[in-house]
Amino acid sequence: MSALFLAFTLLALQGFGGVLAVVQRELVERRGWLSQEEFVEDWAVAQIMPGPNVVNLSMMIGARYFGLRGALVALAGMLALPLLVVLLLATLHARFAGNPQVAGALRGMAAVSAGLIAAAGLKLSLALKRNPLPLPWCVLLCALGFMLVALLKLPLVLVLLGLGGPGCVLAWRRLA
Angle subtended at Cα 31 by Cα 30 and Cα 37, rounded to the nearest 5 degrees:
90
> What's the pTM?
0.57
The predicted structure's pLDDT at residue 109:
86
Rounded average pLDDT over 64-70: 94
Cα torsion 128, 134, 139, 142 to 10°: value is -70
| Cα(7)–Cα(11) distance, integer angstroms | 6
Cα torsion 86, 87, 89, 90 to 10°: value is 110
The predicted structure's pLDDT at residue 124:
79
pLDDT digits (tens, 9 = 90+) for 18-52: 678 888 888 999 999 999 999 999 999 998 898 88
pLDDT digits (tens, 9 = 90+) for 82-118: 889 889 989 998 899 889 998 899 889 888 888 888 8
pLDDT digits (tens, 9 = 90+) for 4-15: 999 999 888 886
- Using pLDDT thresholds of 50, 70 and 90, give the confidence band for residue 17: low
- Would the pLDDT of 127 be above 80? no
| Cα(55)–Cα(27) distance, integer angstroms | 13
Enter the DSSP assignment of 127: G
pLDDT digits (tens, 9 = 90+) for 134-167: 888 888 998 999 999 999 999 988 999 999 888 8
Size of the chain, expressed as the number of residues it contains: 176
The predicted structure's pLDDT at residue 16:
62
Residues of the chain by 3-state class (helix, strand, coil), percent to 5: 85, 0, 15
